[in-house]
Structure 1
């Protein structure tokens, strides 16, 4: 049977869910600013090669979070527009409640939630799991980067896929961001980057994508915006 949780109960069971995850861990929180304890637990999951998915909904990730996330190989981060749900789910249990995974909220706010165990409430757990999977599917996976790009430099760091959607640049130039170009071709952003690389418009070195001379001649542009670096492409670029 589902169990009611107050603030301290949510924090306790959240740590237990993270510690107990052996197969998968899904974290859904609009705001993301992790305390040291949660970071330690997630770093341990990364060392154990546990599949961790973090879905967040606010574009203003703190630089410390970005820097920390870059060092985790098995923690994947996705951005979900209009996200308001808060859910923390392993293969055995989940929490649904009001708590953001935000250090201030964990300490200062009055929160409520419910704790669901898969063994005792299988259908309820399954419904929560399926909704979490849906949010993952509609989210855009973020390729985190904190690289500093000089004004005259052309190499682009691994830009966050949803951060590529700098609408002002797109509308002003009449070009498409990589993610918009991918949508046009009914693809995800990552396969589109692979296609652009295979076509010779990008090259991959030093763990980054670089715009090539061929890419420039085809009309590709490298830009930096408030969310980082991204590429713009002609809508009719030959792939």
Structure 2
């Protein structure tokens, strides 16, 4: 039968749910800011090639979450508008709770939750699992890449960086050349200035020789800077 969870129990069983996932893990939380322990557990699932889906619902991911997620090959992230549900599932266990997957909530808030198992609560577990899949289907999958935040956010705050370096970010260079950012990234990759593995771009030696730079940290996440006069072949 379902088990009631208070704040500490919710945190404990959430860690156990992630730790014991053998095939699939679904984490649905409006707010997303992961503590070090959860990151450690998810990184281990990634090493084991476990399929992990994270659905969040409040604005953009924080830059630190983007940087960390970039390194995980088996974690897919989706944005769901108007998301308020908090539900965490693996192939055997489900937690429905008030707890966001948010560092502050896990430490400071008073939370409640219910623990279900597929073995003891088959019908309710199945209904929760099917609803989680529905939320995933209606969500927009976000490809975590170095360019996403700068391409879609306000680059005004990067203007100082452009002026200081005499260079342009990828999205600004794309605008200058009259092409889309994704098209420019593809062209830069074809030209050998970038490499792309699993949708994640990195600067090559050829790109560095061209004078391009990789800036790992900013208010808007990581980005590339390119010579202002760059022309594609």
Same fold (TM over 0.5): yes
Is 1:61 the counterpart of 2:61? The answer is yes
1:154 deviates by 7.0
1:37 deviates by 0.4
**Structure-1 separation of matches of 2:30 and 2:120:** 28
Match of 1:182 in 2: none
Q: How does 1:31-180 map to 2 (within 5 A)?
A: 31-147=31-147, 153=168, 155=170
Q: After superposition, what is the alpha-carbon deviation per residue over 1:183-233, rounded to whole angstroms, capped at 9, x for unaligned?
A: xxxxxxxxxx7xxx7xx995472225xxxxxxxxxxxxxxxxx7999xxxx
Is 1:24 the counterpart of 2:12? The answer is no
Q: Which runs of 5+ in 2 are unaligned?
A: 151-157, 172-179, 190-194, 202-219, 224-233
1:75 deviates by 0.4
Q: Is the 8 A contact 2:28 2:54 kept in 1?
A: yes
**Structure-2 separation of matches of 1:228 and 1:58:** 20
**Structure-1 separation of matches of 2:61 and 2:52:** 18
**Structure-2 separation of matches of 1:204 and 1:53:** 30
Match of 1:10 in 2: 10
SS at match of 1:77: strand
SS at match of 1:39: helix
Aligned length: 175
SS at match of 2:119: coil
Match of 2:177 in 1: none
| Poorly superposed stretches of 4+, deviation over 6 Å | 226-229
**Structure-2 separation of matches of 1:203 and 1:143:** 19
Query: TM-score, length-normalised on structure 1?
Result: 0.66
Q: After superposition, what is the alpha-carbon deviation per residue over 1:76-130, rounded to whole angstroms, capped at 9, x for unaligned?
A: 0000000000000000001001000001100100000100000001110000000
Q: Is the 8 A contact 2:25 2:51 kept in 1?
A: yes
**Structure-2 separation of matches of 1:133 and 1:203:** 36
SS at match of 2:110: coil
1:46 deviates by 0.2
